[in-house]
Protein backbone atom coordinates (compact mmCIF):
# COMPACT_ATOMS: atom_id res chain seq x y z
CA UNK A 1 0.00 0.00 0.00
CA UNK A 2 1.17 3.53 -0.84
CA UNK A 3 -0.09 6.63 0.98
CA UNK A 4 0.50 10.27 0.13
CA UNK A 5 0.10 12.62 3.09
CA UNK A 6 -0.71 16.23 2.22
CA UNK A 7 -0.52 18.94 4.85
CA UNK A 8 -0.41 22.72 4.89
CA UNK A 9 1.97 23.46 7.78
CA UNK A 10 1.23 26.09 10.38
CA UNK A 11 3.61 29.00 10.93
CA UNK A 12 4.14 27.79 14.48
CA UNK A 13 4.44 24.04 14.98
CA UNK A 14 1.33 22.77 16.74
CA UNK A 15 -0.88 19.80 17.48
CA UNK A 16 -1.95 19.12 13.89
CA UNK A 17 1.65 19.13 12.70
CA UNK A 18 2.50 16.67 15.47
CA UNK A 19 -0.34 14.34 14.40
CA UNK A 20 0.96 14.33 10.81
CA UNK A 21 4.47 13.47 11.99
CA UNK A 22 3.14 10.79 14.31
CA UNK A 23 1.04 9.07 11.64
CA UNK A 24 3.91 9.24 9.14
CA UNK A 25 6.16 7.37 11.60
CA UNK A 26 3.34 4.98 12.47
CA UNK A 27 2.76 4.03 8.84
CA UNK A 28 6.48 3.63 8.15
CA UNK A 29 6.88 1.42 11.22
CA UNK A 30 4.16 -0.85 9.86
CA UNK A 31 5.78 -1.20 6.42
CA UNK A 32 3.44 1.17 4.58
CA UNK A 33 5.04 3.21 1.80
CA UNK A 34 4.20 6.77 2.80
CA UNK A 35 5.19 10.04 1.12
CA UNK A 36 4.63 13.62 2.21
CA UNK A 37 3.70 16.78 0.35
CA UNK A 38 3.88 19.92 2.46
CA UNK A 39 2.73 23.47 1.83
CA UNK A 40 3.32 26.56 3.96
CA UNK A 41 1.91 30.07 4.23
CA UNK A 42 5.09 32.13 4.26
CA UNK A 43 4.09 33.82 1.01
CA UNK A 44 0.35 33.93 0.64
CA UNK A 45 -2.42 35.71 -1.14
CA UNK A 46 -5.78 34.99 0.50
CA UNK A 47 -7.34 34.95 -2.95
CA UNK A 48 -5.30 31.82 -3.73
CA UNK A 49 -7.14 29.84 -1.07
CA UNK A 50 -10.09 29.39 -3.50
CA UNK A 51 -7.93 27.58 -6.06
CA UNK A 52 -4.15 27.51 -6.18
CA UNK A 53 -2.91 26.36 -9.58
CA UNK A 54 0.63 25.85 -8.28
CA UNK A 55 -0.65 23.52 -5.54
CA UNK A 56 -2.84 21.72 -8.06
CA UNK A 57 0.10 21.00 -10.40
CA UNK A 58 2.40 20.04 -7.55
CA UNK A 59 -0.16 17.50 -6.31
CA UNK A 60 -0.61 16.07 -9.82
CA UNK A 61 3.17 15.64 -10.13
CA UNK A 62 3.48 13.95 -6.73
CA UNK A 63 0.70 11.50 -7.60
CA UNK A 64 2.33 10.70 -10.93
CA UNK A 65 5.69 10.19 -9.21
CA UNK A 66 4.60 7.99 -6.30
CA UNK A 67 1.34 6.45 -7.61
CA UNK A 68 -0.32 6.35 -4.17
CA UNK A 69 -3.32 4.15 -3.46
CA UNK A 70 -4.81 6.82 -1.20
CA UNK A 71 -4.26 10.50 -0.42
CA UNK A 72 -4.60 11.54 3.22
CA UNK A 73 -5.10 15.28 3.70
CA UNK A 74 -4.79 17.04 7.05
CA UNK A 75 -4.89 20.80 6.52
CA UNK A 76 -5.65 22.68 3.28
CA UNK A 77 -5.49 26.25 4.60
CA UNK A 78 -4.42 28.34 2.96
CA UNK A 79 -1.86 27.64 0.29
CA UNK A 80 -2.82 24.03 -0.43
CA UNK A 81 -6.45 25.05 -1.08
CA UNK A 82 -9.20 22.74 -2.44
CA UNK A 83 -7.05 22.43 -5.57
CA UNK A 84 -5.25 19.47 -4.00
CA UNK A 85 -8.56 17.62 -3.60
CA UNK A 86 -9.51 18.36 -7.20
CA UNK A 87 -6.09 17.12 -8.34
CA UNK A 88 -6.46 13.82 -6.49
CA UNK A 89 -9.94 13.30 -7.93
CA UNK A 90 -8.63 14.05 -11.44
CA UNK A 91 -6.00 11.34 -10.93
CA UNK A 92 -8.62 8.87 -9.62
CA UNK A 93 -7.00 8.53 -6.21
CA UNK A 94 -9.38 8.28 -3.22
CA UNK A 95 -9.08 11.05 -0.63
CA UNK A 96 -9.49 10.94 3.12
CA UNK A 97 -9.24 14.11 5.20
CA UNK A 98 -8.83 14.51 8.94
CA UNK A 99 -10.70 17.51 10.34
CA UNK A 100 -8.68 18.90 13.23
CA UNK A 101 -10.77 22.06 13.70
CA UNK A 102 -13.96 23.72 12.44
CA UNK A 103 -12.52 25.91 9.67
CA UNK A 104 -14.92 24.51 7.05
CA UNK A 105 -17.78 26.06 9.01
CA UNK A 106 -16.29 28.85 11.12
CA UNK A 107 -13.95 31.57 9.89
CA UNK A 108 -12.39 31.67 13.34
CA UNK A 109 -11.99 27.84 13.25
CA UNK A 110 -12.82 27.39 16.96
CA UNK A 111 -16.51 28.29 17.31
CA UNK A 112 -15.37 30.89 19.83
CA UNK A 113 -16.28 34.57 20.15
CA UNK A 114 -15.81 36.96 23.05
CA UNK A 115 -14.49 34.09 25.18
CA UNK A 116 -17.69 32.07 24.71
CA UNK A 117 -18.71 29.20 22.43
CA UNK A 118 -20.45 30.59 19.34
CA UNK A 119 -22.07 28.32 16.73
CA UNK A 120 -24.19 30.92 14.95
CA UNK A 121 -22.60 30.04 11.59
CA UNK A 122 -22.87 26.25 11.93
CA UNK A 123 -26.07 25.92 9.93
CA UNK A 124 -25.63 28.87 7.57
CA UNK A 125 -24.52 28.49 3.95
CA UNK A 126 -22.83 31.89 4.17
CA UNK A 127 -21.31 32.48 7.65
CA UNK A 128 -21.94 36.21 7.74
CA UNK A 129 -21.55 36.47 11.53
CA UNK A 130 -17.86 35.82 10.93
CA UNK A 131 -17.69 39.01 8.88
CA UNK A 132 -19.81 41.14 11.23
CA UNK A 133 -17.67 40.11 14.19
CA UNK A 134 -14.29 40.09 12.40
CA UNK A 135 -13.74 36.50 13.48
CA UNK A 136 -10.63 35.97 11.36
CA UNK A 137 -7.63 37.92 12.68
CA UNK A 138 -9.96 40.72 13.85
CA UNK A 139 -10.19 41.98 10.26
CA UNK A 140 -13.32 42.78 8.23
CA UNK A 141 -11.59 42.24 4.89
CA UNK A 142 -9.88 38.97 5.81
CA UNK A 143 -13.04 37.67 7.48
CA UNK A 144 -15.03 38.57 4.37
CA UNK A 145 -12.66 36.61 2.10
CA UNK A 146 -12.57 33.55 4.35
CA UNK A 147 -16.33 33.58 5.00
CA UNK A 148 -16.93 33.85 1.26
CA UNK A 149 -14.62 30.88 0.74
CA UNK A 150 -16.59 28.86 3.29
CA UNK A 151 -19.93 29.83 1.71
CA UNK A 152 -18.91 29.17 -1.90
CA UNK A 153 -17.57 25.70 -1.12
CA UNK A 154 -20.70 24.75 0.78
CA UNK A 155 -22.88 26.09 -2.03
CA UNK A 156 -21.03 24.00 -4.63
CA UNK A 157 -20.78 21.02 -2.26
CA UNK A 158 -16.99 20.88 -2.67
CA UNK A 159 -16.27 18.71 0.34
CA UNK A 160 -18.77 15.95 -0.43
CA UNK A 161 -17.82 15.99 -4.11
CA UNK A 162 -14.04 15.68 -3.73
CA UNK A 163 -13.60 13.85 -0.41
CA UNK A 164 -14.28 10.13 0.00
CA UNK A 165 -13.94 9.86 3.79
CA UNK A 166 -13.80 12.40 6.60
CA UNK A 167 -11.99 11.38 9.78
CA UNK A 168 -13.38 12.99 12.93
CA UNK A 169 -11.71 12.63 16.30
CA UNK A 170 -14.70 12.11 18.59
CA UNK A 171 -18.41 11.19 18.44
CA UNK A 172 -19.35 14.74 19.47
CA UNK A 173 -17.50 16.24 16.50
CA UNK A 174 -19.04 13.70 14.14
CA UNK A 175 -22.51 14.66 15.36
CA UNK A 176 -21.72 18.37 15.00
CA UNK A 177 -20.51 17.95 11.40
CA UNK A 178 -23.41 15.64 10.56
CA UNK A 179 -25.92 18.26 11.72
CA UNK A 180 -24.26 21.24 10.06
CA UNK A 181 -24.60 23.02 6.72
CA UNK A 182 -21.66 21.08 5.22
CA UNK A 183 -24.06 18.38 4.03
CA UNK A 184 -21.41 15.70 3.70
CA UNK A 185 -22.85 12.21 3.18
CA UNK A 186 -23.11 10.71 6.65
CA UNK A 187 -21.60 7.42 5.40
CA UNK A 188 -18.36 9.28 4.73
CA UNK A 189 -18.04 10.45 8.35
CA UNK A 190 -15.77 8.19 10.38
CA UNK A 191 -14.49 8.40 13.95
CA UNK A 192 -10.81 7.70 14.54
CA UNK A 193 -8.94 9.12 17.54
CA UNK A 194 -5.28 10.09 17.47
CA UNK A 195 -2.67 8.16 19.43
CA UNK A 196 0.38 8.92 21.54
CA UNK A 197 3.47 7.19 22.92
CA UNK A 198 3.21 4.96 25.95
CA UNK A 199 4.65 7.05 28.81
CA UNK A 200 4.84 4.19 31.31
CA UNK A 201 7.34 1.32 31.30
CA UNK A 202 6.13 -2.10 32.48
CA UNK A 203 2.65 -0.64 33.09
CA UNK A 204 3.67 0.47 36.60
CA UNK A 205 1.86 3.57 37.82
CA UNK A 206 3.78 6.25 39.70
CA UNK A 207 2.20 6.44 43.15
CA UNK A 208 4.09 9.37 44.68
CA UNK A 209 2.57 12.49 43.11
CA UNK A 210 2.40 16.14 44.03
CA UNK A 211 0.53 19.21 42.80
CA UNK A 212 -1.25 19.89 39.53
CA UNK A 213 -0.17 20.58 35.96
CA UNK A 214 -1.29 22.75 33.05
CA UNK A 215 0.18 22.21 29.57
CA UNK A 216 -0.80 24.46 26.70
CA UNK A 217 -0.79 27.87 25.12
CA UNK A 218 -1.10 30.77 27.55
CA UNK A 219 -4.03 32.43 25.81
CA UNK A 220 -7.55 33.46 26.71
CA UNK A 221 -9.35 30.54 25.03
CA UNK A 222 -7.35 28.03 27.09
CA UNK A 223 -8.84 29.34 30.34
CA UNK A 224 -5.41 29.90 31.86
CA UNK A 225 -6.27 33.32 33.34
CA UNK A 226 -9.11 31.79 35.35
CA UNK A 227 -6.86 28.93 36.45
CA UNK A 228 -4.26 31.34 37.85
CA UNK A 229 -6.91 33.19 39.87
CA UNK A 230 -8.24 29.89 41.27
CA UNK A 231 -4.80 28.76 42.43
CA UNK A 232 -4.07 32.15 43.93
CA UNK A 233 -6.78 31.06 46.39
CA UNK A 234 -5.06 27.70 46.94
CA UNK A 235 -1.69 28.90 48.21
CA UNK A 236 -0.92 25.52 49.81
CA UNK A 237 -1.38 23.63 46.48
CA UNK A 238 1.35 23.57 43.83
CA UNK A 239 0.60 24.34 40.18
CA UNK A 240 3.15 23.82 37.38
CA UNK A 241 2.53 25.58 34.09
CA UNK A 242 4.19 24.49 30.84
CA UNK A 243 3.72 26.63 27.76
CA UNK A 244 4.06 30.16 26.44
CA UNK A 245 1.77 32.70 24.83
CA UNK A 246 0.55 36.26 24.78
CA UNK A 247 -0.66 36.21 28.41
CA UNK A 248 2.59 34.89 29.88
CA UNK A 249 4.10 38.11 31.27
CA UNK A 250 0.82 39.34 32.70
CA UNK A 251 0.08 35.99 34.35
CA UNK A 252 3.52 35.84 35.92
CA UNK A 253 2.93 39.22 37.52
CA UNK A 254 -0.41 38.10 38.96
CA UNK A 255 0.56 34.58 40.12
CA UNK A 256 1.36 33.68 43.72
CA UNK A 257 4.48 31.75 44.75
CA UNK A 258 2.72 28.35 44.62
CA UNK A 259 2.55 28.69 40.81
CA UNK A 260 5.65 27.88 38.75
CA UNK A 261 6.03 28.84 35.09
CA UNK A 262 8.33 26.56 33.08
CA UNK A 263 7.83 28.16 29.66
CA UNK A 264 7.86 26.08 26.50
CA UNK A 265 9.43 22.67 27.13
CA UNK A 266 10.45 19.56 25.23
CA UNK A 267 8.28 16.48 25.33
CA UNK A 268 10.60 14.62 27.72
CA UNK A 269 10.14 17.33 30.35
CA UNK A 270 6.35 17.23 29.91
CA UNK A 271 6.39 13.44 30.25
CA UNK A 272 8.22 13.56 33.58
CA UNK A 273 5.85 16.19 34.93
CA UNK A 274 2.78 14.18 33.85
CA UNK A 275 4.11 11.09 35.61
CA UNK A 276 4.52 12.99 38.88
CA UNK A 277 1.42 15.20 39.00
CA UNK A 278 -1.89 14.40 40.66
CA UNK A 279 -3.92 15.64 37.70
CA UNK A 280 -3.69 17.52 34.44
CA UNK A 281 -5.87 20.62 34.48
CA UNK A 282 -7.75 21.47 31.28
CA UNK A 283 -9.78 24.69 31.78
CA UNK A 284 -10.25 25.46 28.06
CA UNK A 285 -13.34 27.52 27.20
CA UNK A 286 -13.54 26.62 23.50
CA UNK A 287 -14.43 23.48 21.55
CA UNK A 288 -11.34 21.32 21.24
CA UNK A 289 -10.74 18.31 19.01
CA UNK A 290 -8.80 15.60 20.82
CA UNK A 291 -6.02 17.43 22.70
CA UNK A 292 -2.77 15.51 22.71
CA UNK A 293 -2.07 16.60 26.28
CA UNK A 294 -5.17 14.74 27.46
CA UNK A 295 -4.27 11.42 25.85
CA UNK A 296 -0.66 11.85 27.03
CA UNK A 297 -2.04 12.32 30.52
CA UNK A 298 -4.05 9.11 30.22
CA UNK A 299 -0.93 7.37 28.93
CA UNK A 300 0.81 8.49 32.14
CA UNK A 301 -1.98 7.11 34.28
CA UNK A 302 -2.83 10.68 35.24
CA UNK A 303 -6.46 11.81 35.58
CA UNK A 304 -7.69 15.04 33.98
CA UNK A 305 -9.75 17.76 35.61
CA UNK A 306 -11.48 19.58 32.75
CA UNK A 307 -13.87 22.44 32.23
CA UNK A 308 -17.47 21.42 31.57
CA UNK A 309 -17.54 22.13 27.85
CA UNK A 310 -18.98 19.96 25.07
CA UNK A 311 -16.73 17.29 23.58
CA UNK A 312 -14.15 17.48 26.38
CA UNK A 313 -16.85 16.46 28.88
CA UNK A 314 -17.28 13.26 26.86
CA UNK A 315 -13.55 12.48 26.55
CA UNK A 316 -13.23 12.84 30.32
CA UNK A 317 -15.61 10.58 32.23
CA UNK A 318 -16.57 12.36 35.45
CA UNK A 319 -15.37 10.56 38.60
CA UNK A 320 -13.77 7.84 36.46
CA UNK A 321 -10.65 9.05 34.63
CA UNK A 322 -10.93 12.59 35.96
CA UNK A 323 -13.48 15.16 36.95
CA UNK A 324 -15.62 17.72 35.12
CA UNK A 325 -15.85 21.14 36.77
CA UNK A 326 -17.24 24.52 35.90
CA UNK A 327 -13.96 26.41 36.10
CA UNK A 328 -14.95 29.59 37.90
CA UNK A 329 -13.32 31.79 40.50
CA UNK A 330 -15.73 30.71 43.21
CA UNK A 331 -15.79 28.73 46.44
CA UNK A 332 -17.24 25.61 44.77
CA UNK A 333 -14.42 25.22 42.23
CA UNK A 334 -11.71 26.05 44.77
CA UNK A 335 -13.15 23.54 47.24
CA UNK A 336 -13.38 20.74 44.65
CA UNK A 337 -9.75 21.13 43.58
CA UNK A 338 -8.68 21.24 47.23
CA UNK A 339 -10.64 18.04 47.92
CA UNK A 340 -9.17 16.33 44.85
CA UNK A 341 -5.69 17.18 46.15
CA UNK A 342 -6.43 15.14 49.28
CA UNK A 343 -8.07 12.12 47.60
CA UNK A 344 -6.73 8.62 47.15
CA UNK A 345 -6.28 8.69 43.38
CA UNK A 346 -5.50 5.01 42.80
CA UNK A 347 -8.77 4.23 40.98
CA UNK A 348 -8.56 7.41 38.93
CA UNK A 349 -5.04 6.50 37.83
CA UNK A 350 -5.97 2.92 36.91
CA UNK A 351 -9.00 4.12 34.93
CA UNK A 352 -6.96 6.80 33.14
CA UNK A 353 -4.36 4.26 32.16
CA UNK A 354 -7.01 1.80 30.94
CA UNK A 355 -8.63 4.57 28.88
CA UNK A 356 -5.32 5.04 27.08
CA UNK A 357 -4.76 1.32 26.54
CA UNK A 358 -8.23 0.78 25.08
CA UNK A 359 -8.44 3.86 22.81
CA UNK A 360 -5.26 5.82 22.23
CA UNK A 361 -2.33 3.47 21.64
CA UNK A 362 -0.39 3.52 18.38
CA UNK A 363 -1.48 -0.05 17.74
CA UNK A 364 -5.15 0.89 17.94
CA UNK A 365 -4.59 3.95 15.76
CA UNK A 366 -2.81 1.99 13.05
CA UNK A 367 -5.47 -0.72 13.02
CA UNK A 368 -8.21 1.86 12.49
CA UNK A 369 -6.25 3.93 9.97
CA UNK A 370 -5.25 0.89 7.94
CA UNK A 371 -8.86 -0.30 7.82
CA UNK A 372 -10.02 3.10 6.55
CA UNK A 373 -7.41 3.03 3.80
CA UNK A 374 -8.26 -0.54 2.84
CA UNK A 375 -11.95 0.17 2.58
CA UNK A 376 -11.28 3.18 0.36
CA UNK A 377 -8.90 1.33 -1.92
CA UNK A 378 -11.11 -1.72 -2.26
CA UNK A 379 -14.17 0.40 -3.02
CA UNK A 380 -12.29 2.45 -5.58
CA UNK A 381 -10.59 -0.41 -7.40
CA UNK A 382 -13.28 -3.02 -6.85
CA UNK A 383 -10.75 -5.54 -5.63
CA UNK A 384 -9.37 -6.83 -2.37
CA UNK A 385 -5.89 -5.31 -2.35
CA UNK A 386 -5.50 -5.21 1.46
Average pLDDT over residues 317-337: 95
Please tell me the distance from the alpha carbon of residue 358 to that of residue 49, in angstroms, as a whole number: 39
pLDDT of residue 381: 64
Answer yes or no: are the C-beta atoms of 327 and 307 closer than 8 Å.
yes
Q: Which residues contact 300 (CB under 8 A, 6 or more apart)?
A: 199, 200, 206, 271, 274, 275, 352
Report residue 275 CA to chain centroid gap: 22
Report residue 134 CA to chain centroid gap: 23
Asked if the model's pLDDT at residue 58 lies above 80, the reply is yes
Asked if the model's pLDDT at residue 104 lies above 70, the reply is yes
Within the chain, all domains assigned CATH 3.40.50.2000 are found at 2-195+362-381, 212-359
pLDDT of residue 206: 82
Average pLDDT over residues 179-203: 94
pLDDT of residue 118: 94
pLDDT of residue 371: 96
Q: Which residues contact 266 (CB under 8 A, 6 or more apart)?
A: none
Please tell me the distance from the alpha carbon of residue 212 to that of residue 262, in angstroms, as a whole number: 13
CATH class of 2-195+362-381: alpha beta
Of the CATH numbers 3.30.70.890, 3.30.450.40, 1.10.1740.10, 3.40.50.2000, which one belongs to the domain with range 212-359? 3.40.50.2000
Confidence label for 305 from pLDDT (cuts 50, 70 and 90) = very high
pTM of the model: 0.92
Beta strands in the chain (DSSP E): 2-8, 33-39, 70-73, 95-98, 112-113, 116-117, 165-168, 189-191, 212-215, 239-242, 259-263, 279-282, 304-307, 322-325
Amino acid sequence: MKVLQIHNKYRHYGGEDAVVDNEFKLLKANNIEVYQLFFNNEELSLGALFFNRTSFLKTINEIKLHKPDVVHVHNIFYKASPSILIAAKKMNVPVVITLHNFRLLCSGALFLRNSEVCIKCKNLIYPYHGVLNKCFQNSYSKSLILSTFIGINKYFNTWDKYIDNVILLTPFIKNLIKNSSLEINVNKLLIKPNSTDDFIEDNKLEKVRDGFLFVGRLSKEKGIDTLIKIFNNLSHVKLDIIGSGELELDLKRKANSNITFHGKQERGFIKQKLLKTKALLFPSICYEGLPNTIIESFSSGTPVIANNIDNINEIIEDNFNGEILNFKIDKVTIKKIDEFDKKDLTEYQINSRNTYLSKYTHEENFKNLHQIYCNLINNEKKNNKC
